[in-house]
């Protein structure tokens, strides 16, 4: 081995040892978090790594993602070259040609040569985006975030230039086959016929190159590029279940004096791994209704700041033995109360996030602490909680009036029928809100027309608990959930029908946490089923143009996107237009996560943003399949003084289609 | 400091109130009971005072009411009160305010007290009589409808603000005093979960009339509820229509004299 080779081996080994310590420290930091399990199904997980790491599926779902894709793959091929070069320095005579034969080695070289060029362009374009275009996606109030990105990109840029120079010298010296290195051949013009010591030059370039790589290895874990280490395990360990399902809390321990999360160690280790996985791409914030309407919340910033906090805290926490040291509270220094209350839990952030970071659970965990341990929350939430406690609904309405909407309509009660096919879950909006009641009446008239064997719980029904849960009041939510389960268990029925996507989601994915599982169907699916089976005619309306607005909890959370559209299209005379942001990428109405019940006095109102979108596009009337979206649209239109646009639930639209007949 | 807060269990504001068939009270089916809204302000004020004073200050809840009242008492304990006295006796099924005052006063006296906070009125019967009765029975001053409260620097006197027409009034009172609280004096807290958990273990001392040393109903003869009656149905509205306004006026006058017999 040459002296050069020995020095390289020593340096490399030293770097690896330090890197090992760093990784160990990172893992110990993760283990400060609470345990979390449930990572079975290795095949699906490996496949997901292939699709989302190798294939970069989510990254590529936006045009600018191509840059990352190129840098990712380019870097891998460049690293192959780096390895070859380093081994060559250590083992005299080593080369891919010697091992794999000239064909394979040639292809590696060719791909490397071409990809590296694309990477150069990608880097120039990223710098252009960061400095000139400055898209909303990358906006963040911490200049360090951008500087770091620029620093790393510049390093990669330099690495590539060095690689070309090294290969070019190889071409001049005849050690590299120029036909597999078209770009390097052009560069070799720089070195051809010059009176310099090419051997020395090559070794200087190579040393700079390799030292940068070593530096990179040690710098990465302390920068945003830690995502290179964090994202792959995070994608492997991602939530394969339904999105945004909140964890069930345990209230058994009556001596506990803390509920919810106030500091880092309250999160699970997987939630902390999320922080390492963030690529700082900003896709989440570019989709976030709160951020886009100038609220203080940005999911990107939140994760960025929490990771910063993790970095600040870990030394202190790791050095302390056990639990006897107080963690620094996350609120208000790292994340503010205004931020966490601004979230509608719409899930748009999680839908976009390439490494599958879960923002909503973290936000709700922080809310849980504030609500349950500190009783600190926007004051307008208190009457809402109290109403849910006393009258089992967020409106301040007497619980005994819950079934008043059904008076005189001869709607069967579960307590009378005992056994039936479909339990029509009316929900709080359907029971107490004037428009909601109208949907309840519309839907029940359709059910009767189709001769569905159904019943309602009447005054036995109470709030499903979804809102309380997302507002952080898990204790109240569980009280409601358990009471509902008790009630439902008294009757025999096959499925739950609801027109409220929030109820739908909570019955589908959250009630099973409490031991109650029953098929749940949304009225859009059910009505479509009835029309298809010929149990309901589709009807016709006078020409109506309108767009269907996807509710977050229906489309994004539960993948019910086509059914309502198909149903609408079956009605003669309706021409369906589309919002720009629709389907899984729909834009929240602003009501979710308990936001319906909170003041919205910062920034633009989310519902107005959505109404403005509809007006700009001229979509016509608005069709909804969620009573909360309906209310938000009506309010938004009112505040824009628009009277000629109607907002209709799909059940109301169908009833209108019949009455027009 | 021994801080006493009074708590009345009342039907929820949103409950549909119907009078029972015998006319002896309201129908309790379908009615949820809560802490009297104004008493929440009293509880909060008591808790704030305790927090400010620290030391061995203590907040004790007093409630006279049926057995089920323990639920609302626990809520007050969850908010942070230290313990409670629950006066519960079948004979007190629906006591008149004088009786309530006399019983509460005796219980409070037995317990010992430095200051009493309560609501300005019960949101059910709206009599606002109980506090006055207690003040009389205990021989202490009473300041009504307080919108602010603080102790003087040396802690010997109470400084109470009241909203009056066109301004505010500041009253200084000796201790002990009974202060009846109005909306706006504070923002009653929402019981925290650790508070709720702790409340399950806090002591509620139950007292009957006999425990308090009454062998007959106190103040029984002073006032009595004879019968509960629903509000009479509102009259109907009749529109007087005519071609000419003057004719309509004439017709209205005739109706008022001949049918309504009021002019
Ligand atoms: C539906 C109903 C059923 C009841 N059943 C029973 C029963 O079975 N047995 C029984 O013993 N009592 C019972 N009570 C309680 C009793 O009737 C009332 O406490 C009493 O009538 C209060 O009078 P008030 O409304 O004039 O109060 P107000 O004079 O308007 O109340 C003013 C303030 O006095 C204080 N105060 C008033 N009443 C009480 C109280 N009870 N405890 C503590 N502080 C109080 C509160 O601070 C309140 O804000 C019942 C009350 C109601 C509403
Ligand atoms: S859930 Fe919606 S509102 Fe909340 S942070 Fe994510 S995108 Fe923003
Ligand atoms: S949280 Fe996800 S979407 Fe948001 S910046 Fe980080 S990696 Fe991108």
Q: What integer pLDDT is reported at residue A537 of this predicted model?
A: 85
- Rounded to an integer, the average pLDDT of A152-179 is 91
Closest chain A residue by Cα to residue B29: A400
Helix (H, G, I), strand (E, B) or coil at A619: coil
Element (H, E) at A622: strand A621-624
Share of chain A above pLDDT 90, in %: 80
A596 preceded by cis ω (within 30°)? no
Any CB–CB contact under 8 A between B16 and chain A? yes
Span B19-23, average pLDDT: 89
* Strands lying side by side in the sheet with B58-64: B167-174, B157-164, B142-151, B178-181, B115-119, B2-6, B58-64, B83-87, B204-207
Q: Compute CA distances A297 → A371, A492, A576, whole Å.
A: 19, 45, 34
CA of B201 to nearest chain A CA: how many angstroms apart?
A: 10
Q: What is the pLDDT of residue A323?
A: 60
Q: Residue B185 has what pLDDT?
A: 96
For chain B, the residue count is: 263
Burial environment of residue A611 by CB neighbours within 10 A (0 to 12, 13 to 18, 19 or more)? buried
In short, whether A347's Cβ falls inside 6 Å of ligand 2 is yes
**Buried residues in B177-187 as b, exposed as e (16+ CB within 10 A):** bbbbbbeebbe
pLDDT tier at B30 (50, 70, 90 boundaries)? confident
The sheet carrying A572-577 orders its strands as: A572-577, A540-548, A621-624, A647-649
Interface touch A398/B192, C-beta < 8 Å: no
Whether B75 is in the pocket of ligand 1, judged by its Cβ within 6 Å, is no
Number of H helices, E strands in chain B: 6, 11
Q: By a Cβ cutoff of 8 Å, what residues of chain A touch chain B? A: 251, 254-259, 371-375, 377, 379, 382, 385-387, 390-391, 396-401, 459, 475
Q: Which residue has the tokens 């305790």?
A: B50
CB-facing half-sphere around the CA of B83: CA atoms within 13 A: 9
- Measured CA distances, A296 to A347, A365, A377, A517 (Å): 17, 18, 16, 38
Q: Name the residue at shortest CA distance from atom 3 of ligand 3.
A: A353
3-state helix, strand, coil in chain B (%, to 5): 30, 25, 45
Q: Do B190 and A256 touch (CB under 8 A)?
A: no
Query: Spelled out in words, what is the top-level CATH class assigned to the domain B2-207?
Result: alpha beta
pLDDT at A75 over 90: no
Q: Contact, A523 vs A497, CB < 8 A?
A: yes
Q: How far is CA A31 from the centre of its chain?
A: 24
- Whether the Cβ atoms of residue A483 and residue A447 lie closer than 8 Å to each other: no
**Residue A439 pLDDT:** 97
Q: Show the beta-strand stretches assigned E in A287-330.
A: none
- Residue B54: which of B3, B95, B115, B15 has the closest Cα? B3
Name the band, by pLDDT with cuts 50, 70 and 90, for residue A542.
confident
Tell me the C-alpha distance between A384 and A468, whole Å: 9
d(CA B71, CA B79): 13
* Whole-Å CA distances, A18 to A25, A230, A288, A616: 11, 18, 39, 57
Strands B157-164 and B142-151: antiparallel
In chain B, CATH 3.40.50.620 covers 2-207
Q: Quick one: pLDDT at residue A543?
A: 80
User: Which ligand has the nearest atom to the CA of A362?
Assistant: 2
**A162, A126 Cβ separation under 8 angstroms:** no
Residues A237-254, mean pLDDT to the nearest whole number: 93
A390:B12 CB<8 A = yes
Q: What is the pLDDT of residues A270-324, one digit of tens each?
A: 999 999 999 999 999 999 999 999 999 999 999 999 999 999 999 888 887 666 7
pLDDT value for A627: 97
The residue whose two tokens read 């006393």 is A390
CB contact under 8 A, B193 and A372: yes
Average pLDDT over residues B151-180: 94
Number of residues in chain A: 661
Q: Give the distance, in angstroms, between the CA of residue A239 and the centroid of all CA atoms in the same chain.
A: 11
pLDDT tens, A575-618? 999 999 999 999 999 999 999 999 999 999 999 999 999 999 99
Residue A321: per-residue pLDDT: 65
Run of H or E residues at B140 = none
ipTM of the complex: 0.86
The answer, yes or no, to whether residue B221 has pLDDT greater than 80, is no
Closest CA in chain A for residue B34: A390
DSSP class of A262: S
pLDDT in tens, A389-421: 999 999 989 999 999 999 999 999 999 999 999
- Output b/e per residue, B9-24; b: 16+ Cβ within 10 A: bbbbebbeeeeeeeee
Which ligand 1 atom is the nearest neighbour of the CA of B100?
A: 20
Ligand 2 pocket test target in A345, A553, A591 with most atoms within 8 Å of CB: A345
Gap between the Cα atoms of A581 and A548, Å rounded: 11
Helix axes A198-219, A143-173, angle to 10 degrees: 150
Which residues, other chains included, contact A632 with Cβ-Cβ below 8 Å and sequence gap of 6+?
Answer: A589, A590, A591, A596, A606, A607, A610
The reported pLDDT for the residue numbered B125 is 87
Residue of B nearest to A376 (CA): B190
Q: Which 8-state DSSP code applies to residue A526? A: H
Cα of A559 from ligand 3 centre, angstroms: 22
The pLDDT score that the predictor gives to residue A81 is 87
Q: Compute the count of residue pairs across chains A and B with CB atoms less than 8 Å apart.
A: 54
Structure-model confidence comparison of residues A194 and A333, the more confident one: A333
Cα(A559) to centroid of ligand 2, in Å?
A: 18
Q: What's the pLDDT at B235?
A: 77
């Amino acid at each position: 081995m040459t002296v050069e080779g020995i020095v390289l081996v020593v340096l490399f080994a030293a770097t690896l040892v330090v890197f090992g310590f760093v990784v160990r420290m990172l893992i110990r930091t993760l283990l400060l978090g609470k345990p979390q399990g449930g990572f079975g199904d290795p095949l699906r997980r490996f496949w997901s790594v292939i699709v989302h790491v190798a294939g970069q599926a989510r990254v590529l779902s936006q045009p600018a993602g191509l840059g990352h894709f190129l840098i990712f793959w380019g870097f891998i091929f460049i690293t192959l070259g780096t390895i070859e070069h380093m081994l060559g320095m250590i083992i005299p005579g080593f080369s891919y040609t010697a091992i794999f034969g000239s064909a394979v080695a040639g292809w590696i070289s060719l791909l490397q040569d071409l990809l590296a060029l694309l990477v150069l362009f990608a880097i120039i374009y990223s710098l252009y985006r960061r400095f000139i275009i400055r898209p909303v996606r990358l906006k963040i109030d911490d200049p360090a975030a951008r500087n770091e990105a620029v620093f790393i990109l510049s390093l990669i840029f330099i690495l590539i230039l060095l690689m070309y120079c090294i290969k070019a010298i190889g071409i001049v010296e005849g050690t590299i086959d120029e036909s597999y290195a078209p770009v390097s051949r052009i560069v070799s013009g720089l070195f051809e016929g010059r009176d310099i010591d090419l051997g020395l030059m090559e070794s200087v370039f190579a040393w700079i190159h390799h030292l940068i790589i070593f530096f990179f290895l040690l710098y990465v874990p302390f920068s945003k590029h830690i995502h290179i280490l964090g994202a792959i395990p995070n994608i492997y360990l991602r939530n394969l279940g339904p999105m945004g399902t909140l964890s069930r809390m345990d209230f058994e321990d009556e001596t506990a004096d803390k509920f919810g999360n106030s500091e880092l160690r309250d999160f699970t280790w997987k939630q902390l791994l999320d922080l390492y996985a963030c690529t700082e791409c900003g896709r989440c914030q570019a989709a976030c209704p709160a951020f886009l309407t100038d609220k203080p919340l940005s999911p990107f910033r939140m994760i960025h700041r929490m990771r910063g906090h993790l970095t600040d805290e870990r030394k202190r926490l790791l050095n302390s033995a056990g639990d006897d040291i107080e963690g620094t509270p996350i609120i208000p220094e790292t994340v503010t109360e205004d931020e966490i209350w601004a979230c509608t839990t719409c899930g748009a952030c999680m839908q976009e996030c390439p490494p599958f970071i879960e923002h909503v659970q973290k936000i709700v965990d922080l809310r849980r602490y504030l609500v349950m341990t500190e009783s600190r929350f926007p004051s307008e939430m208190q009457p809402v909680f109290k109403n849910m406690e006393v009258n089992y609904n967020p409106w301040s309405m007497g619980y005994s009036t819950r079934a008043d909407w059904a008076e005189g309509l001869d709607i069967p009660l579960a307590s009378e029928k005992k056994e039936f096919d479909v339990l029509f879950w009316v929900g709080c909006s359907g029971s107490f809100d004037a428009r909601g009641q109208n949907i309840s009446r519309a839907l029940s008239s359709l059910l009767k027309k189709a001769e569905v064997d159904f019943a309602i719980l009447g005054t036995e029904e109470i709030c499903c608990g979804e809102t309380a849960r997302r507002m952080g009041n898990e204790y109240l939510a569980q009280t409601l959930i358990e009471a509902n389960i008790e009630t439902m268990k008294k009757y025999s029925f096959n499925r739950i029908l609801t027109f409220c996507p929030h109820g739908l989601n909570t019955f589908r994915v959250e009630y099973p946490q409490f031991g109650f599982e029953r098929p749940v169907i949304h009225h859009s699916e059910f009505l479509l089923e009835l029309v298809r089976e010929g149990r309901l005619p589709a009807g016709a309306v006078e020409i109506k143009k309108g767009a269907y607005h996807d509710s977050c909890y229906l489309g994004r959370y539960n993948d019910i996107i086509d059914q309502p559209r198909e149903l609408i299209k079956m009605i003669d005379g309706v021409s369906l237009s589309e919002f720009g942001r629709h389907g899984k990428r729909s834009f929240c109405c602003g009501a979710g996560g308990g936001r319906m019940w909170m003041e919205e006095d910062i920034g633009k109102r989310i519902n107005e943003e959505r109404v403005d979108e509809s007006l700009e596009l001229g979509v016509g009337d608005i069709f909804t399949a969620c009573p909360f979206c309906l209310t938000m649209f009506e309010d938004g239109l009112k505040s824009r003084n628009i009277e000629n646009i109607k907002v209709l639930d799909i059940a109301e639209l169908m009833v209108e289609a019949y009455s027009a007949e | 400091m021994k801080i006493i807060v009074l708590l009345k269990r009342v039907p929820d504001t949103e409950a549909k109130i119907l009078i029972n068939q015998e006319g002896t009270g309201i129908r309790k089916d379908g009615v949820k009971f809560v802490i009297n809204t104004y008493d929440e302000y009293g509880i909060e004020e008591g808790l704030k005072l305790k927090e400010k004073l620290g030391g061995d200050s203590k907040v004790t809840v007093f409630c006279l009411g049926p057995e089920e009242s323990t639920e609302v008492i626990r809520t007050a304990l969850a908010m942070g009160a230290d313990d409670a006295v629950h006066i519960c006796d079948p004979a007190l099924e629906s006591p008149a305010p004088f009786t309530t005052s006399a019983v509460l006063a005796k219980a409070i006296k037995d317990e010992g007290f430095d200051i009493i906070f309560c609501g300005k009125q019960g949101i059910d019967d709206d009599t606002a009589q109980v506090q006055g009765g207690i003040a009389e029975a205990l021989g202490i001053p009473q300041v009504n409808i307080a919108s602010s409260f603080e102790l003087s620097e040396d802690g010997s006197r109470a400084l109470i603000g009241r909203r009056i027409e066109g301004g505010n009034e500041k009253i200084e009172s000796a201790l002990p005093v009974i202060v009846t609280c109005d909306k706006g004096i504070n923002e009653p807290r929402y019981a925290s979960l650790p508070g709720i958990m702790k409340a399950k273990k806090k002591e509620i001392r139950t007292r009957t009339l006999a425990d308090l040393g009454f062998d007959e109903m106190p103040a029984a003869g002073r006032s009595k509820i004879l019968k509960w009656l629903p509000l009479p149905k509102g009259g109907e509205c009749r529109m007087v229509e005519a071609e000419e306004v003057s004719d309509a006026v004439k017709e209205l006058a005739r109706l008022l004299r001949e049918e309504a017999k009021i002019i």
